[in-house]
Homo-oligomer: A and B are copies of this chain.
């Protein structure tokens, strides 16, 4: 489809493309994909399930197949906000279209390629991505593909359901492809706060944000029209985040977290009505904890996080959460419907920012975020493995958990105490991959209890973690390990038996269970 035919696309909506130059660039996905060459570094929009370009991946996959059919080679380096819609990740991984992937993924096909050594994966703190790309660590960015809700009369862009790194992609890319998605409610205009004050050192200045509901930027993304090579109309709904209803385990975890908040309020360490801004990672447990806040005595909560999940919408609707700041709306099908149906309500209480700002160490530290993230496993000394199953096979990536854990006010990790029907313990003698060190992890929570590791030396911490968090079936094994480690001559500050430190993991690999 050449540009003069574009308005025949069923997704084309002139109210979404209000600028003549951009209208002249309207084309179909296949045509847009011809701008992408073998070896390009392609930066796309998308953070969790929100804001991934809808037409890009299928069109690029078609192009890759066509190039290969003609005897050519074709693969790209793919940069994103975080994970993107599974459909996008999968279709490109299936055609071996991704040579290098950065900074986060959570899709089975890509994961398999990465673990097979067939795709390079660089797992980067989400707050570091923009500066690293700006500084050229990833070479030139050839093409940015960014989903937006609309192009305004003056050529500015209304962001869609996530902001992610879109500001940076539009700035650094040589060419820009826009997807204008008419599914995104037009009412989204004004919900974003895009801060244009970041810079590279030595030119950095203070970022003046002091509250989750403050605005320090503008409602629109900017783009140099001369760089835009294609505008593709789409009308597909955002991908869905899968969520299950809170079960007994996640409700028990939520209960311990709520008790901890009450305890901290009582000690004068957290404000009684509002606590401090909440950050919660993606997933069922975090969703359950937030849902549990519904029952708490709070009336003026805020959220300063990466993503807004379903439970946050409910807290907003019920007046528990006054404001939620994030970089993306990662909702289930029901959550998406709820959002779209009551858009005016949510727009008042939600601000979406670039991930450079939502995860910025300066702001996370200043606001004093309460960091609540999931984990694969923790060890008895409080080191956390968030990324590598068995120490070798990547699950997803570190995402923003490090940004919040390191710089937040209280750093909590939440997990069921077991997995795989009770055969895998999430509390182990030593984690075989460390994403968050004992220096950063302050609180560990499972359905059995909460271990407050603040002001604890390693030898005290280990017993606390076992007694508070480990499943009772694993406690004797863990205590036995610690007893014998502590009894060794020169046992040290952090007693271990290196020959046995991974015995839980090797037993699992050999026998299918960590139980002895």
Most chain B C-beta atoms within 10 Å of own C-beta, residue among A102, A117, A492: A492
A136 at the A/B interface (Cβ < 8 Å)? yes
Pick out which of these stretches binds chain B: A19-27, A201-209, A231-239.
A201-209
Residues of B within 8 A of A271 (CB): 202
CB distance from A134 to the nearest CB of B (A): 10
Q: Which of A189-203 contact B (CB under 8 A)?
A: 200-202
User: Do A493 and B393 form a contact, CB below 8 Å, given A121-B457, A365-B361, A457-B120?
Assistant: yes
Q: Mark A257-291, 1 if CB is under 8 A from B, else 0.
A: 00000000001110100101000000000000000
A91 at the A/B interface (Cβ < 8 Å)? no
Chain A residue total in the interface (Cβ 8 A): 86
Measured CA separation A174–B391 after assembly (Å): 48
CB distance from A258 to the nearest CB of B (A): 20
Residues of B within 8 A of A458 (CB): 121
Residues of B within 8 A of A499 (CB): 502, 506
CB distance from A210 to the nearest CB of B (A): 6
Q: Which of A6-21 contact B (CB under 8 A)?
A: none
A459 at the A/B interface (Cβ < 8 Å)? yes
Which residue of B406, B498, B509 is within 8 Å of A361 (Cβ)? B406
A388 at the A/B interface (Cβ < 8 Å)? yes
Question: Are the C-beta atoms of A123 and B207 separated by less than 8 Å?
Answer: no
CB distance from A50 to the nearest CB of B (A): 24
A141 at the A/B interface (Cβ < 8 Å)? no
User: Do A492 and B123 form a contact, CB below 8 Å, given A201-B368, A207-B206, A498-B506?
Assistant: no
Q: Which of A167-219 contact B (CB under 8 A)?
A: 200-202, 204-208, 210-211
Most chain B C-beta atoms within 10 Å of own C-beta, residue among A120, A131, A434, A437: A437
Question: Are the C-beta atoms of A117 and B439 separated by less than 8 Å?
Answer: no
Q: Mark A420-450, 1 if CB is under 8 A from B, else 0.
A: 0000000000101111111110000000000
CB distance from A231 to the nearest CB of B (A): 31
CB distance from A138 to the nearest CB of B (A): 6
A454 at the A/B interface (Cβ < 8 Å)? yes
Residues of B within 8 A of A323 (CB): none
A135 at the A/B interface (Cβ < 8 Å)? yes
Chain B residue at minimum C-beta to C-beta distance from A361: B361
A419 at the A/B interface (Cβ < 8 Å)? no
Question: Are the C-beta atoms of B493 and A201 separated by less than 8 Å?
Answer: no
Question: Are the C-beta atoms of A368 and B200 separated by less than 8 Å?
Answer: yes
Measured CA separation A264–B492 after assembly (Å): 41
Measured CA separation A493–B360 after assembly (Å): 27
A156 at the A/B interface (Cβ < 8 Å)? no
User: Do A498 and B391 form a contact, CB below 8 Å, given A269-B135, A269-B136, A437-B437?
Assistant: yes
User: Do A122 and B432 form a contact, CB below 8 Å, given A267-B136, A407-B361, A492-B115?
Assistant: no
User: Do A402 and B439 form a contact, CB below 8 Å, given A100-B457, A490-B115?
Assistant: yes
CB distance from A370 to the nearest CB of B (A): 10
A456 at the A/B interface (Cβ < 8 Å)? yes
Question: Are the C-beta atoms of A274 and B202 separated by less than 8 Å?
Answer: yes
Question: Are the C-beta atoms of A367 and B204 separated by less than 8 Å?
Answer: yes
A409 at the A/B interface (Cβ < 8 Å)? yes
Chain B residue at minimum C-beta to C-beta distance from A123: B439
CB distance from A112 to the nearest CB of B (A): 10
Measured CA separation A302–B163 after assembly (Å): 35
Which residue of B210, B432, B438, B454 is within 8 Å of A498 (Cβ)? B432
A501 at the A/B interface (Cβ < 8 Å)? yes
A319 at the A/B interface (Cβ < 8 Å)? no
User: Do A205 and B210 form a contact, CB below 8 Å, given A439-B123, A492-B115, A502-B501?
Assistant: yes
A511 at the A/B interface (Cβ < 8 Å)? no
Residues of B within 8 A of A502 (CB): 498-499, 501
Measured CA separation A390–B135 after assembly (Å): 37
A392 at the A/B interface (Cβ < 8 Å)? yes
Question: Are the C-beta atoms of A383 and B136 separated by less than 8 Å?
Answer: no
User: Do A368 and B202 form a contact, CB below 8 Å, given A394-B492, A398-B439?
Assistant: yes
Question: Are the C-beta atoms of A202 and B406 separated by less than 8 Å?
Answer: no
Question: Are the C-beta atoms of B492 and A393 separated by less than 8 Å?
Answer: yes
Measured CA separation A428–B505 after assembly (Å): 20
Q: Which of A95-145 contact B (CB under 8 A)?
A: 100, 102, 114-115, 117, 120-125, 131-132, 135-138
Question: What are 8 of the A-B contact pairs (CB < 8 Å)?
Answer: A117-B491, A122-B457, A206-B207, A361-B406, A362-B365, A391-B496, A432-B501, A434-B434
